[in-house]
Structure 1
């Protein structure tokens, strides 16, 4: 008889736990699929609505606390409930710590506890939770979260950080392989490739792999409502000079999280930059006609410097002197075997922007903008300098965003070391790798 009663009690507890899990699942679904039932214009209410639903769910859970407070599964679900908001919760940490003590094999509890430590800023404890969870079971959540933590952990030197970044890519790849349909895992793989691109030599392949991963993430209905995804991808679009896509990304991130100021600030910065660049190209940097003619009168092939030597090695690896060509004759894309030669008529420092930007005018008085990446803070060119761009890579930009349009051509230069200024190559100190923030 006693055994029957015990068995019946266990069955009852199981039913209660099932109901509790369904309540918490419903809460997470409400958060993750918020924009399926609400318009983007209601995005500002999302955090408040999720918090209110969390408190309602918590009240339902606390009704069962007396009989289930020593049950690991109950503590896990209570921790999950408290973890639904972006802030650290001491109560969640306590519940989850108790859950893993009662059942050390509870992988989900380890993962959520690791998430809480992440929110708290304790990255070492967070890493230990995800590593511990993987010892019990290989799972996508531990893998992708460990990928994130590794990239954030402080390291004694750049080499160690580089190793962490490489390892983080492998972990994120593994998470995607376990569930190729999970958009959140694709987003974290995109971030890992983004970090790899900027920390390990800016190999264009890594940039394309990041964009490919972000595209798969954006196709997922849950991941596509994450503002971080749109912001991080926009930063990479910006660096790749896909300005229209970058503006759309910042705008989307700001719409999904109206309380987050950075995307709006980035969008505003980029619009101001494009406005300034197009204006300066049109009026040739506002240099007065007489001064411009004087500047151009002493522009000659002596400014080519090493480019005129038959031993000159161009960025493409081609050896031989380069032929100076008018800016108007340059074709879209890579212009092999030729050099763009002109005088600087304006410059914009790279503060708050990806590239040091300057305008150059050639002997035909054609003006083109040059965007130089990976420049040291103290590097720049002055109005009147003669600049040569060996084998220029020309891009045409045609951008429309929020009733504003911009149309101009530019030359992209990946390092100041590729330029010849006043007949001279630039020294090694003029270059420093650019970094892009991501969330």
Structure 2
């Protein structure tokens, strides 16, 4: 066999070895039980050592054939962990110098710089890769970078919209790639927080995560389950959120955040259930005094023969009903009225939560999204809610049973407090402090 052919076979061999290294990582739980998750990092390190040894053994032959590709493969192998590798950076920097058109090398160097915290440097690398050819890896990496660049609020929103579009492009290039779907889910979830906390955007995020989980490689990623759980929490699908946080914790037992979040959700559910059951913990006489002060004019523009304060036109007719008459889902054309009897204190700013009691002493919890910090209602306020969106919380988790009714309000501008529609200053500005994993 001629030397050229032999060198080509050797290069193909080490290409397969690096690919197998990533398959070992990405499909680890296809071959190992979840209770061995603590051994994953050690096992990957052992496989990395074997791969690097093979690369070193065939360095001379491979560099004669294609030095840049050899260096890219070595850098890719060194890039297998989540930590920044100075050696990977040095090797990949040499690879792009030898061949500035090598797309894989630019993508790997970008990911290396991303781990270092050099977001702008990473972006430059991904853009250099895209200049060579359109590829899903660069598109989804640009999507990630756009969400991490520190900008003014308006520019931040533009960047996140662009992030969604780049992730969509990546998905369209390979509809079976779970990682691309995962990045799209993250982009939508970020958009949910910085735009207007729209349930539609949240559902788009959840749909993308579901598609991601159909890919076995993506399904083993604890970050996917964690970020999906964050979305489920804000979708108020608490049981599914707790289970998804549990999955993230099982896939990465050394990561404390999923367990801490589970504890926060349990505390919120317990507090909410207790306050609903005990009507905000108000004493009977004080509760009666609250309800005596509840008047029909507190319905404001949603009362009989009222007109809209913002448009001057009459609202469509709203029927005032009691809390016990609410049905699951959106109660179109209905309005409920009650007194705030307790605020539910949580560690998270979103949503703002309180308990509402009506004239029959029925009590529900209310969660309000997009409300400005410090602009919530207080105990004793009369609150009317048009088109109430009702969700029944009723599930068992571990040894506890959670059961209460909640009304979700997507914007405070729909609320009527003490007979007046809330003003626009009660609506939250852009939120930039979302706690998600980096992708």
Shared topology, TM-score over 0.5?
yes
Structure 1 residue 263 displacement after superposition: 1.4
Q: Provide Cα deviations, 1:136-182, integer angstroms capped at 9, x if missing partner.
A: 22111111111111121222x23322222222222211111111111
Correspondent of 2:283 among 272, 285, 288: 288
Equivalent residue for 2:42? 48
Q: Distance in 2 between matches of 1:32 and 1:353?
A: 35
Number of matched residues?
A: 431
| Cα distance between partner residues in 1 of 2:334 and 2:10 | 76
Q: CA deviation at 1:69?
A: 5.5
Tell me which residue corresponds to 1:4.
none
1:379 alignment counterpart: 375
CA distance in 2, matches of 1:9, 1:105: 26
Q: Deviations over 1:359-378 (max 9, x none)?
A: 11111111111111122221
Secondary structure of 2:150's match? coil
TM-score normalised by the chain length of structure 2: 0.92
Which residue of 321, 329, 332 maps to 1:336?
Answer: 332
Secondary structure, in 3 states, of the residue corresponding to 1:384? coil
| Counterpart among 144, 164, 168 of residue 169 in structure 1 | 164
Structure-2 residue corresponding to 1:85? 81
Give secondary structure in 1 for the equivalent of 2:396: strand
Partner of residue 176, structure 2? 181
Greater mean deviation of Cα atoms: 70-79 or 119-128: 70-79
Relative to structure 2, which stretch is displaced further, 56-65 or 248-257? 56-65
**In the alignment, which of 296, 301, 322 is matched to residue 296 of structure 2?**
301
Question: Residues 332-380 of structure 1: CA distance to partner in whole angstroms, max 9, x if unpaired?
Answer: 2222333211111111235325311111111111111111112222122
Counterpart CA distance in 2 for 1:327 and 1:104 is: 67
Q: Which residue of 271, 285, 301 corresponds with 2:266?
A: 271
CA distance in structure 2 between the partners assigned to 1:337 and 1:32 by the alignment: 50
In structure 2, what is the Cα distance between the partners aligned to 1:418 and 1:215? 32
Q: What is residue 236 of structure 1 aligned with on the other side? A: 231
Residue number in structure 2 paired with 1:23? 17
Residue 313 of structure 1 and its aligned partner are, at CA, apart by 7.0
Unaligned runs of 5+ in 1: 1-6
**Cα gap change, 1:341/1:253 in structure 2, threshold over 3 Å: closer, same or farther?**
same
Partner SS for 2:216: coil
Aligned-residue offset at 1:383: 2.2
Determine the C-alpha separation between the residues in 2 that align with 1:66 and 1:214. 44
Alignment-derived partner of residue 249 in structure 1 = 244
Partner Cα separation in structure 2 for residue 335 and residue 351 of structure 1: 30
Gaps of 5+ in 2: none
Contact 2:196 2:370 in 1 (8 A): no
The answer to whether residue 8 in structure 2 is matched with residue 10 in structure 1 is: no
What's the CA shift string for 1:181-202, capped at 9, x where partnerless?
Answer: 1100111111122223333334
- Distance, in Å, in 1 between the alignment partners of 2:389 and 2:248 is 31
8 Å CA contact 1:238, 1:354 repeated in 2: no
User: For 1:237 and 1:151, how far apart are their aligned partners in 2?
Assistant: 21
Distance (Å, rounded) in 2 between the aligned partners of 1:31 and 1:355? 37
Whether 1:38 and 2:32 are equivalent positions in the alignment is yes
Q: What TM-score, normalized to structure 1? A: 0.92
- Deviations 1:401-439 (CA, angstroms, capped at 9, x unpaired): 233321211111112222222223323222215564322
Deviation at 1:279, TM superposition (A): 1.2
- Which residue in the other structure is 2:409 paired with? 413
- Describe the shift of the 1:349–1:95 C-alpha distance in structure 2 as closer, same or farther (beyond 3 A): same
Deviation at 1:252, TM superposition (A): 0.9
